[in-house]
Amino acid sequence: MRTILFLIQKEFLQIRRNKSMLPIIFVLPIVQLLILVQAATFDLKDVHFAIVDQDRTPTSEALIRDFSSSPYFKTSAYCMSVEEATSKLYDGTAGMAMVIPKGFSRSLVEGRGDASVQLLVDAVNGTNAGLIQAYSTRIIGRFSLHQATSNPVVIPEAFKPVTLTVETRHWYNPELNFKTFMVPGILVLLVTIIGFMISGMNVVREKEIGTIEQLNVTPVKKYQFIIGKMIPFWIIGLFELSLGLLVGKLVFDIPMEGSLWLIFLSAAVYLIVVLSMGLLVSTMSDNQQQSMFISFFIMMIFILMSGLFTSVDNIPDWAKVINTFNPVAYFIRIMRMVLLKGSEFMDITHELLSILGLAVLMASLAVWRYKKTT
């Protein structure tokens, strides 16, 4: 016990002495949180759109007005031909083009039901294209409803179509605020970086300098060494999480619906997973570069598959299998569920147990791989 305490004390002494380590631990997370959350937003605003109005009637103008008065779209050009509009899409000056064909308003007024507009959307960014389409459909739907109700003359009362109004309510994040959605995820990212990369690099550093050799000839036991390496970064990881939550609350006003204890319990287990992974990587690499690249590679996959930026509900089945081993995905889910939804212990048992399972698996692997003799 005394040995472990001394190992931990030594570790903290070294971290305190390391001039590049302190900013990494204290400043980087805050900067990352402030920048990443702002950048990783999916809010859509002021999409430039090109118009080809071949109808040129008050009705078509009304539709255009509906678009340009919405916060999502901004008229950028009136084009004479479809070709001109597509060229605008091509060179990127417009994100969407709308073609209103000749006879649009007549079809509407006569109620033939074949009035149509054509939307051309730049779908290089699929997520954006989907959003543009959704917003446009909503505007057009409202427009057609308005047209139908304001033309009582044309359609006899009895034949008036029954209109269903869909009113959407977004639960748990009522204003569809992406920041509240991103902050919990970014926090997971921070904890992961500290736990995974820095702990792994730390052990490899001892290898590089040769101090591990000196330690290996001492009676320090394997478990003592591993615990002595893990606990400092475990503490730093939890500290980092608290710091992040504080910044999240103060700067982004993220909701904290659920119990913070639950968050910290999950983080405590989660950190064991990433710390073990870091240690495992360090046993496989001889210098800090190797360790950096291996952990970067693994982290990249885990983060991109975690559902931090994109929904992972539609990934192929084989990828889902890989994802069952992805601790980042579980922890992000827990964070979002607990912080935004106020989920209770019972709601996250599956995720928590999965992380626990991974913790046991990774820790055993790390202990097994770590050898004092070559």
Q: Smaller CB distance to another protein: residue 13 or 155?
A: 13
| Paired tokens of 171 | 């639960």
Burial class (CB in 10 A: 0-12, 13-18, 19+), 286: exposed
71 binds another protein (CB under 8 A): no
How many residues touch another protein (CB under 8 A)? 23
Q: Smaller CB distance to another protein: residue 213 or 257?
A: 213
Site string for another protein, 190-209 (x = CB under 8 A): -------------------x
DSSP tally for the chain: helices H, then strands E: 15, 4
Residue showing tokens 């052990």: 203
Of the listed pieces 2-10, 41-49, 156-164, 176-184, which binds another protein according to CB under 8 A?
2-10
Q: Please, what is the minimum distance in Å from the beta carbon of residue 14 to another protein?
A: 5
Q: Could you tell me which of 4, 2, 8, 5 has the C-alpha nearest to residue 232? A: 8
User: How far apart (Å, rounded) are the C-alpha atoms in residues 103 and 169?
Assistant: 37
Q: Smaller CB distance to another protein: residue 165 or 374?
A: 374
289 binds another protein (CB under 8 A): no
Q: Please, what is the minimum distance in Å from the beta carbon of residue 215 to another protein?
A: 7
Cβ distance 51 to 97 under 8 Å? Answer: yes
1 binds another protein (CB under 8 A): no
3 binds another protein (CB under 8 A): yes
Give residues 129-158 in contact with another protein (rule: CB under 8 A): none
14 binds another protein (CB under 8 A): yes
220 binds another protein (CB under 8 A): yes
Q: Please, what is the minimum distance in Å from the beta carbon of residue 12 to another protein?
A: 11
User: How far apart (Å, rounded) are the C-alpha atoms in residues 205 and 288?
Assistant: 6
Q: Smaller CB distance to another protein: residue 3 or 177?
A: 3
Q: Could you tell me which of 127, 117, 103 has the C-alpha nearest to residue 63? A: 117
The DSSP bridge partners found for residue 117 are: none
Name which position in 113, 219, 317, 321 contacts another protein (CB under 8 A). Answer: 219
3-state secondary structure 13-25: HHHHHCCCHHHHH
20 binds another protein (CB under 8 A): no
| Paired tokens of 9 | 């004390």
User: How far apart (Å, rounded) are the C-alpha atoms in residues 57 and 345?
Assistant: 60
Q: Which chain residues interact with another protein by CB under 8 A?
A: 2-3, 6-7, 10, 13-14, 17-18, 209-211, 213-220, 372-374
